[in-house]
């Protein structure tokens, strides 16, 4: 690693936490632009005739999980794939509506791989691994061709070429899309590729199964413990390697844009066995979520960022103005993003747009019945392009908005607000996608890679596909190649039986509390704590208050929880209770990480660290990833230093 002489991380700002060692990212030496090509040449190969003798478990069937499962199955490995859905196509990747980035230079607007890397590294506020950004951009070109070939119906220009549009944080048109259903169409294509391997006999697909623990073979991951969500049966499954593709943990905030079943349990279980969690406090708040309209609301709804291509964001220029949007004349409107960031306007990165919206709402300029939103207005776009063109581009999104709010966005501006969305933090992995536990790989949003402190729009579908289709199949093969001739753990071995006992005892503990509140009660309270203390804007005081409140809530949970029903049947209350128990522990680590990092960067905005309202990074002290190890209640902050060769460190400027 190219670490400056004499460099050392600062001491932790958290009482009792320790500073650990330097993590090796295992990035090949030499030019980063060719690092991935050289690494692939270094990887060991497995003879096609021997691949069926090696088994890999994949947990999750989103774009990353379906991709790696289908790819390994196609190559001939024995694959066992799990999802808690009733079909792989229902994974949460379907919810990414707007598009997928690729540096294909198709729009003749001077895009390139180098520009892709610059945008990704700068967009993440220099808190991600530069080598990963190069791989993401290099493989992006293959992703579009591959998904197009297996059936994703990308939009096309009149002449037949694939169409693109712009997304936040980028001044070129590199986002490929399928109207407002990009994630859904890509997920359907990937799930069908996975089912093709199921039919071929290389993949065993187990639906309605949730991972509740890892099976550890000494220091390495050797399998998983699953609960059948229909029958309640708890079983162990072993393999030569395990790949987690279980999505993000944004639902920890209760009100989030994620599907309600999305959770953190697989990630947290890995952490309990020693896997490092990197940057858990790097949470993206999407600027175009729908605002909370009442306390009973169970989640927020996401409006695609693609709407910011043609919609203009504004608030009344005078605080406290309660007039209807169409009654406020043009000269009394503040198009604050266009005013503050003229070079990017309404297409500023998500962290900048969310923070600006939060400032407007808190200063009394919020709109709507609860004054908790801003306007996204298409009046000018409709006048310029016509209603038919806008309907062609965003019609399904407009329909969804009207169904949710009863308001017609063609005639009345949409109301939007920041909502908990994507988690840039996750299990730390090296350049080979392997966590700090040998044999445990990670892909997609449950990992920490690519995005730094803020994900650029349309890079999530891309990163999941790059991981699943074009990175993990090579890296996993390299790991399992020396294991040829060995067998996975025996079902009756001590590690397997110990893992089964741990899981059964955890289920019994949840059922046996005997309190008076269901898990949703505690989940909602946790969300309120996190939005207030570790939300769009954080301070030392709010974080310390949140940590204290989480401690108290966790104590209440284990004395006041009530889970109705039993464990030997479908029991969604039991499922939710287990997830909330894990959230209550992960939430504390999120706040600890945010309290520890004495700077502002990307989506991590500490009010104490700003310059004229913008995030103030401290590259001298904090240009590294914090990778936390949780062992026996002890927190140890390991660190991976960042150096930048192709994209020099600079202050982000979108003006």
Report which DSSP code applies to 32. Answer: G
Of the candidates 350, 455, 606, 652, the residue annotated as catalytic is 350
Q: What is the distance between the alpha carbons of residues 14 and 402, in angstroms, rounded to a whole number? A: 46
Q: What is the distance between the alpha carbons of residues 147 and 161, in angstroms, rounded to a whole number? A: 15
Q: What is the distance between the alpha carbons of residues 481 and 525, in angstroms, rounded to a whole number? A: 48
β-bridge mates for residue 627, sequence order: 278, 638
Helix (H), strand (E) at residue 625: strand 624-631
- Of 251, 283, 265, whose CA–CA distance to 581 is shortest? 265
Beta strands in 168-316 (DSSP E): 175-176, 203-206, 209-217, 220-228, 234-238, 241-244, 277-278, 283-289, 312-316
Q: What is the distance between the alpha carbons of residues 67 and 75, in angstroms, rounded to a whole number? A: 12
Name the phi and psi angles at 4, rounded to 5. Answer: -55, 140
Torsional sign, CA 261, 503, 449, 4: positive
Secondary structure of 357-424 as H, E, C letters? HHHHHHHHHCECCCCCEEEEECHHHHHHHCHHHHHHHHHHHHHHHHHHHCCCCCCCCEEEEEEEEEEC
Helix (H), strand (E) at residue 620: helix 619-622
Task: Report in angstroms the alpha-carbon separations of 165 from 116, 174, 196, 464.
Answer: 15, 6, 32, 20
Q: What is the distance between the alpha carbons of residues 369 and 324, in angstroms, rounded to a whole number? A: 10
- Of 419, 469, 473, 425, whose CA–CA distance to 445 is shortest? 425
> Is 350 among the residues known to form the active site?
yes
Report which DSSP code applies to 517. Answer: B
- Of 291, 566, 246, whose CA–CA distance to 426 is shortest? 246
DSSP count for the chain of H helices, then E strands: 17, 23
Torsional sign, CA 162, 165, 168, 169: positive
Q: What is the distance between the alpha carbons of residues 82 and 133, in angstroms, rounded to a whole number? A: 29
Q: What is the distance between the alpha carbons of residues 108 and 655, in angstroms, rounded to a whole number? A: 24
Q: What is the distance between the alpha carbons of residues 168 and 465, in angstroms, rounded to a whole number? A: 20
407-409-412 Cα angle (round to 5): 75
Secondary structure of 457-505 as H, E, C letters? CCHHHHHHHHHHHHHHHHHHHHHHHHHCCCCCCCCCCHHHHHHHHHHHH
- Catalytic positions are 350
């Amino acid at each position: 690693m190219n670490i400056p002489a004499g460099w050392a991380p600062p001491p932790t700002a958290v009482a009792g936490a320790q500073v650990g060692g330097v993590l090796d990212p295992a990035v090949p030496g030499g030019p980063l632009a060719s690092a991935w090509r050289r690494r692939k040449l270094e990887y060991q190969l497995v003879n096609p005739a021997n691949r069926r003798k090696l088994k890999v478990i994949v947990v999750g069937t989103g774009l990353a999980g379906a991709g790696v499962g289908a790819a390994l199955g196609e190559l001939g490995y024995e694959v066992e794939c799990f999802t808690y859905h009733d079909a792989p196509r229902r994974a949460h990747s379907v919810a990414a509506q707007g598009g997928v980035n690729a540096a294909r230079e198709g729009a003749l607007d001077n895009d390139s791989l180098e520009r892709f890397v610059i945008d990704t590294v700068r967009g993440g506020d220099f808190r991600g691994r530069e080598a990963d950004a190069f791989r993401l951009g290099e493989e992006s070109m293959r992703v579009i061709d591959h998904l197009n070939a297996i059936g994703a119906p990308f939009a096309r220009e009149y002449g037949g070429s694939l169409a693109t549009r712009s997304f936040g944080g980028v001044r070129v048109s590199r986002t490929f899309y399928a109207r407002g259903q990009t994630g859904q169409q890509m997920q359907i294509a990937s799930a069908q590729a996975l089912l093709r391997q199921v039919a071929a006999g290389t993949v065993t697909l187990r639906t309605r199964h949730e991972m509740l623990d890892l099976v550890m073979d000494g220091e390495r991951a050797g399998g998983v413990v699953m609960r059948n969500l229909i029958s309640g049966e708890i079983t162990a499954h072993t393999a030569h390697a395990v790949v987690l593709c279980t999505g993000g943990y944004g639902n920890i905030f209760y009100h989030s844009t994620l599907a309600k079943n999305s959770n953190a349990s697989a990630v947290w279980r890995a952490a309990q066995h020693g896997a490092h969690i990197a940057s858990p406090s790097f949470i993206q708040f999407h600027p175009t979520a729908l605002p909370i309209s009442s306390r009973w609301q169970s989640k927020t709804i996401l409006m695609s960022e693609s709407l910011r291509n043609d919609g203009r964001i504004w608030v009344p220029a005078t605080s406290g103005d309660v007039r209807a949007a169409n009654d406020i004349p043009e000269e009394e409107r503040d198009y604050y993003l266009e005013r503050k960031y003229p070079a990017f306007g309404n297409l500023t990165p998500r962290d900048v747009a969310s923070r600006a919206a939060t400032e407007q709402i808190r200063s009394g300029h919020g709109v709507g019945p609860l004054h908790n939103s801003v306007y996204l207005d298409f009046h000018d776009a409709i006048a310029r392009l016509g209603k038919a063109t806008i309907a062609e581009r965003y019609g399904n999104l407009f329909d969804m908005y009207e169904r949710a709010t009863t308001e017609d966005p063609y005639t009345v501006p949409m109301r939007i607000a920041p909502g908990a969305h994507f988690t840039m933090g996750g299990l730390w992995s090296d350049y080979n996608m392997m966590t700090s536990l040998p044999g445990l790989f990670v892909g997609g949003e449950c990992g920490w890679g690519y995005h730094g402190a803020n994900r650029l729009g349309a890079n999530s579908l891309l990163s999941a596909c790059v991981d699943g289709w074009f990175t993990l199949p090579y890296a996993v093969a390299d790991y399992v190649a020396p294991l040829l001739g060995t067998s996975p753990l025996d079902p009756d071995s001590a590690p397997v039986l110990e893992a089964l006992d741990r899981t059964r005892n955890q289920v019994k503990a949840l059922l046996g509390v005997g309190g008076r509140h269901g898990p949703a009660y505690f989940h909602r309270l946790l969300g309120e704590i996190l939005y207030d203390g570790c939300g769009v804007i954080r301070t030392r005081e709010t974080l310390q208050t949140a940590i204290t409140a989480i401690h108290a809530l966790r104590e209440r949970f284990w004395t006041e929880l009530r889970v109705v029903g039993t464990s030997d049947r479908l029991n969604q209350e039991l499922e939710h209770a287990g997830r909330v128990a894990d959230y209550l522990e992960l939430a504390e680590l999120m706040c600890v990480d945010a309290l520890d990092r004495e700077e502002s960067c990307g989506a991590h905005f500490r009010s104490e660290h700003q310059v004229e309202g913008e995030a103030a990074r401290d590259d001298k002290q904090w240009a590294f990833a914090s990778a936390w190890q949780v062992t026996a209640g002890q927190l140890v902050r390991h660190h991976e230093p960042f150096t930048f060769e192709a994209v020099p460190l600079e202050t982000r400027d979108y003006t």
